[in-house]
Amino acid sequence: MSGIKFEPGRIVATPGALEAFRASGEEPLAYLVRHLGGDWGDVDADDRKENELSREHGWRILSCYRLSSGVRIWLITEADRSVTTFLLPEEY
């Protein structure tokens, strides 16, 4: 994948996120590509700035996307880049 701005580490998903993808018929890969490419999705301007600083300084990165079903999905890459997790906001 070209355009990757940081390494994701291990990629995991919570049961709720997996069920949301199953119910929507969408695939997680498209959202992972967006996240790794710096498209943070539905976050506000402050969170966008924070993500850019986080990318440069090795801090935690958060993206938020809305599936076609209307369900919101978060992707969080940990500061040490060991893992990226798909989860529902209420699972945080």
Q: Following DSSP, what letter does each residue of 52-80 receive, concatenated?
A: HHHHHHT--EEEEEE-TTS-EEEEEE-TT
pTM across the whole model: 0.94
As a whole number, mean pLDDT of residues 20-36 equals 97
Question: Which SS3 state, helix, strand or coil, does residue 28 take?
Answer: helix
Q: Give the mean pLDDT of 60-84.
A: 98
- The arithmetic mean of pLDDT across residues 20-44, rounded, is 97
Q: Is the pLDDT of residue 9 over 50?
A: yes
What pLDDT is attached to residue 2? 61
Residue 22: pLDDT band by 50, 70, 90 thresholds?
very high
CB 16 within 8 A of CB 74: no
